[in-house]
Structure 1
Amino acid sequence: MLNQAIAVINGKGGTGKTSITANLGGLFAAAGYRTLLVDMDPQGNLGRDLGYLETGRSDGGRALFNAVTTGTQLVPLREVRANLDVVAGGDLVEDMAAALYSRGTRGQSVATAIRDALAPLARDYDLILLDCPPGNRALQQMALATAHFVVIPTKADDASLDGLIQVANLFASVRTEINPGIELLGVVLFSIGARSRKIALRARSTVARDLGDPDLVFDTEIRLVEGPAQDCRRLGKLVHEVEEQLGHDRSLRFQMLRAARRSRKDEPRHAPGGALQGLAESAPQLAADYHRLAEELSGRLQLKSKVPA
């Protein structure tokens, strides 16, 4: 395993894996930690959250595919943000495990293929986050064979909680057979509505019962705040970046109002450079959730004497 690697995983899609990977990675990078994000999802949605799909920087998973199947040195996308590098995902990632098996490779050499590809890079990073795909057991097993820690995001619905149990069973299998040092860092409740306290409490009870330890559920919950979540995907920005842009736009609005009051002209006045983008005013709420989650995750890592602390 790689000591600084965390797998973000659930057996069901739409539970917040990519959003949590992107936003935690961005926050730790902004705090000065050298961070690597590995997109193991064939959909490659990490590129949408970080904006590099729109700039044409994604290779659709080719670098990861070549490194795993041919031993080519893995070269990530550099400086997607300051201190933040990314190994892109995409269609080729889905072909990776099949390609290994078709060449007659079996057993642990397949499971540890991602770890072996990342190992030469690991010393360059304080933190490595693996964005894992739903429903692809081979890729999930590769991620768990690589990671020291596991974070499981889940919504409060039954299907998402079932996906959590699937991952917990796979986690137990990998720990027994491949990676005895792997540890479950915790479960994050994702997309929790402001008026859904009973649902959230029931989900917490269910997770605590199924995993046998209530302390494994993070105190922080990521709220359901649709406006800024849509802004992030639309703009290719992280939540804290949208929050910063919102503050900038508010300042411009104030300047416009002051200018309008002083002006005797009837023509409408516009913000410089068209900066106003109608950003959701609830962005600071969601940004605060991710900041709290980053702090809580850091605290749990510190208790285990690992970085970042």
Structure 2
Amino acid sequence: MRTIAVVNQKGGCGKTTVSINLASALAARGLRTLLVDMDPQGHCAVGLAVPEEQIEQSIYDVMVGESCGEPLRISEMVWKICDNYDLAPGSIDLAAFEQQMAGVEDREECLKRALSEVAGDYDYAVIDCPPSVGSLTFNAIKASSDVIVPVDTGYFSLHGLSKQLSTLSVLSQQCDNEINVMVLASMYDVRTKMGREILGELKKHFGDKMFKTVVNFNTKLKEAASLGQPISEYDPASKGCKDFNALADELVSTDSRAERAEMVESLQAKLDAISASADELLATAGVTETSTASATATMDEKLADFYGVRKLDDAVVFVSLYPRAEEVQIAGDFNGWQPEKTPMQKGEDGTWHVKLPLAAGRYRYRMVVDGQWQQDPYNEITEMNPFGECNSVVEVH
């Protein structure tokens, strides 16, 4: 069984979208595929319409079962999504894993042992890791043969990229297995000059450490996730579906163990090379610690170069594209869900933006476009609300 961890400690980079739809594309090729959700937020279940209230056991129960005297196999708790596609759901209990397993010997190999028991049942396992570094991510790395690092092609995604990869390298130094690490450009918006320039630099500097496939920004992917469907089921003719089919094909084409033995370096060497490329890329793009001030000064000029929500010094910036809208507002926890309190400003190119000085915390919000309430199409972090729709979520640290 080939095991692939999708890792990025930065939220909003399309990590869960990649995990769900890559697993779906692999299953569509007749490959028995297991999706493992290691994120305490349990977004994979939401994205596949698995009712949270019906999830009685999660991957947490499997990982801690042996130490608690209640062993549980993955095969006993998986949800069958469709032919060749199973989900081992996550749960909020995962947030307590590190505390629960403190002092337990080999606790970083809990997931590896659990997956080894079902290795004969699947061809592929895809692990959606949490957007943080800790025991859960370390468990995923220890269990994996491959690591995919999705990087969205927005301006601020380059901040900390090298640091994030270096952190991953430190985590993996204790791994005794060789792991192939690849960077995946995701949420690419061909309409923006900044996106095109960053993609060009990624290709230039990362070379063979980067997938040839690029996952384009596609509203169909957002719609599919909000309806609890992989893109292959929601709209098989969409650009998003074609991108993930291409990614699955590219991944499968390297499945020959002999071929992979030649291309795989030690994880440490691989990440050192990627980190060096990231440093060079940051310098090329002018996004370094010493240039933060100048980047902030020109932020207003760059608002049209990315969409979504970003933290910028002492403010959170929301940017969206509604070229035909007459009025766009935001309603959320930060304004008592009163959209008239937070109108967005329209740019000449059809983008709408607003800066809010939000304190540290977790905020739910929705866009109100000409009176119509909807989730933010450029933010993949969502949660269901009491009305059966999705609120967008932003976490400010």
TM-score, length basis structure 1: 0.74
* CA distance in 2 between partners of 1:105 and 1:303 (Å): 34
The equivalent residue for 1:285 is 239
Percent of counterpart pairs with the same letter?
25
Q: Which residue does 1:29 correspond to in 2?
A: 27
Residue aligning to 1:80: 81
Q: Is the 8 A contact 2:129 2:140 kept in 1?
A: yes
Task: Report the alpha carbon displacement of residue 207 of structure 1 after superposing the two structures with TM.
Answer: 7.5
Matched to 1:202, the amino acid is I
| Shift, 1:147, TM fit | 0.4
SS class of match (2:54): coil
Contact 2:25 2:248 in 1 (8 A): yes
Look up the match of 2:136. Answer: 139
SS of 1:80's partner is: strand
**Does the C-alpha gap of structure 1 residues 61 and 289 become closer, same or farther in structure 2, counting only changes over 3 Å?**
same
CA contact (8 A) 2:145 2:180 kept: yes
1:176-224 CA-to-partner distances (Å, cap 9, x unmatched) read 322341221x111111112135434424525764xxx411121221111
Task: Tell me the distance in 2 between the aligned counterparts of 1:135 and 1:96.
Answer: 14
SS at match of 1:301: coil
What CA deviation, in whole Å up to 9, does each residue of 1:220-245 have, x standing for no partner?
Answer: 2111122x12321232111111115x
CA–CA separation in structure 2 for the residues paired with 1:207 and 1:111: 34
Letter of the structure 2 residue corresponding to residue 240 of structure 1? S
**Unaligned runs of at least 5 residues, structure 2:** 261-397
Q: 1:72 to 1:54 in 2, by over 3 A?
A: closer
CA spacing shift, 1:124–1:92, aligned 2, 3 Å:
same
Question: Which one has more relative contact order, counting CA pairs under 8 Å at least 6 apart?
Answer: 1
SS in 2 for 1:221: coil
Between 92-101 and 171-180, report the one with greater CA deviation. Answer: 171-180
1:221 aligns with 2:214: yes
Counterpart for residue 273 of structure 1: none
Corresponding residue for 2:339? none
TM norm structure 2: 0.59
Instruction: Give the letter aligned to residue 185 of structure 2.
Output: L
Inter-CA distance 98–304: structure 2 relative to 1 (3 Å threshold)? farther
Give, as a single letter, the amino acid of the residue that structure 2 aligns with 1:73. L
1:287 offset after TM fit, Å? 1.2
CA drift of 1:132 comes to: 0.3
Is this contact kept in 2: 1:12–1:159, CA < 8 A?
no
| 2:198 matches 1:202 | yes
Aligned pairs (5 A) from 1:171-186: 171-184=168-181, 186=182
Q: Root-mean-square deviation (CA), in Å?
A: 2.5
The range that moved more, 213-222 or 295-304, is 295-304
Q: What is the aligned length?
A: 257
Residue 6 of structure 1 pairs with residue 4 of structure 2: yes
Residue deviations 1:64-123, cap 9 Å, x none? 35436436122332422111111110101111122111xx225xx122121112211112
| TM-aligned CA deviation for residue 124 of structure 1 | 1.2
Match of 1:191 among 168, 187, 211: 187
SS in 1 for 2:215: strand
Q: Are 2:220 and 1:241 aligned?
A: no
Q: Structure 1 pair 46/207, CA: closer, same or farther in 2 (3 Å)?
A: same
For 2:41 and 2:134, locate their aligned partners in 1 and report how far apart those are by CA, in whole Å.
16
